[in-house]
Chains A and B, each alone.
Chain A
Amino acid sequence: MNPTMIPIPSAWILYLSAVLFVIGAIGVLLRRNGISIFLALELMLNSANLAFASFAFRFAGQGGHAASAINGQIFIFFIIAVAAAEAAVGLALFIAMYRRKETIDVDRFNILRW
């Protein structure tokens, strides 16, 4: 720990995380274009990452839990890896969908229903 630096409250990061999460959620729920939805989804994932980062230090800062700092970052690392995999599959899906209907407007893919 470097005592010369002025600490910022971990809650601030969490507030930022919450705001980004809401923006991402609105994007997911309101957009119709598949790729736009995906972008908003990435934003939501990153807001979660921020929360993890905040908690990693929150609990490591109490002393005795040095491993918490590492574990929090490991979580973010895995989320990034999974997000990359998800992006690859998702984009491939949109290509396949586009081939079929010449569009990726998800409202037009609704035949799997009652």
Chain B
Amino acid sequence: MVTYVFLAAAALAIVFGILAIAHRSPIINVLSLVVVFFAMAAIYAVLGMDFLAAIQLIVYAGAVLVLFLFVIMLLNIRSVDRLGSGRRLQAVLGVVISIAIGVAAVLAIATLTPANGAVAPGSGQGTAFPIGRSLMTTHLLPFELVSLLLVAALVGALVLARKETR
């Protein structure tokens, strides 16, 4: 059951991932990405990471990507450039290097000892309670720093997007 869910979600994520970067319509891109994020949320869920599955949906799919949509509509972008248009050398090298990195990653993963590779889904460690306690105790300082970063980003975004007045 878990295996099937995972395989289905993985297939969905790859197909819509390609769509998200390849399609010329930005709206389709964003919506495809939403599908990818949903698939990932499913994977988190079957792995027992309930909390992550939730914020993946709420923060990413619900907030960040909606923000993208807003901006696309605000700038009224109807279609974007074709994938790989423009500089040929950049395009060829980009594909080659990206695939090389992927091959390297796959090779690296393949050398991992499979005996320890079993994932135990639903281990009960993925609920909001242990994560929230950890954030308030062990990781309190990075947590506070992230809140500071968010405030700074907020202010920075406001300043950057403001209409310049002379």
Contact, chains A and B (beta carbon distance below 8 A): yes
- Which residue of B has the minimal Cβ distance to A88? B157
Asked if A78 and B102 make an inter-chain contact with CB atoms under 8 angstroms apart, the answer reads no
Asked if B3 and A78 make an inter-chain contact with CB atoms under 8 angstroms apart, the answer reads no
- Determine the distance from Cα of A35 to Cα of B30 in the docked complex, in whole angstroms: 10
Given contact pairs A24-B17, A70-B134, A81-B150, A61 touches B157 in the complex (Cβ within 8 A): no
Asked if A95 and B71 make an inter-chain contact with CB atoms under 8 angstroms apart, the answer reads yes
Q: Which of B80-126 contact A (CB under 8 A)?
A: 80-81, 83-87, 90-91, 93-95, 97-99, 101-102, 105-106, 109-110, 112, 114, 116-126
- Which residue of B has the minimal Cβ distance to A3? B120
Contact of A74 among B14, B98, B134, B161 (CB under 8 A): B134
Q: Which of B148-164 contact A (CB under 8 A)?
A: 149-150, 152-154, 156-158, 160-161, 163-164
Tell yes or no: A112 within 8 A of B by CB. no
Interface residues as binary, B1-21 with A (CB distance below 8 Å gives 1, 0 otherwise): 111001000100110011011
16 A-B pairs whose Cβ atoms sit less than 8 Å apart in the complex? A2-B123, A22-B102, A25-B94, A25-B101, A29-B94, A36-B80, A39-B20, A53-B44, A57-B119, A73-B125, A80-B60, A82-B146, A87-B68, A88-B67, A95-B75, A99-B164
A residues in contact (CB < 8 Å) with B: 1-2, 5-27, 29-33, 35-36, 38-40, 42-43, 46, 49-50, 53-54, 56-58, 60-62, 66, 69-71, 73-74, 76-78, 80-89, 91-96, 98-99, 104-105, 107
B residues in contact (CB < 8 Å) with A: 1-3, 6, 10, 13-14, 17-18, 20-22, 26, 29-30, 33, 36-37, 40, 43-44, 47, 49, 51-52, 55-56, 59-60, 63-65, 67-68, 71-72, 74-75, 77, 80-81, 83-87, 90-91, 93-95, 97-99, 101-102, 105-106, 109-110, 112, 114, 116-126, 130-131, 134-135, 139, 142, 146, 149-150, 152-154, 156-158, 160-161, 163-164
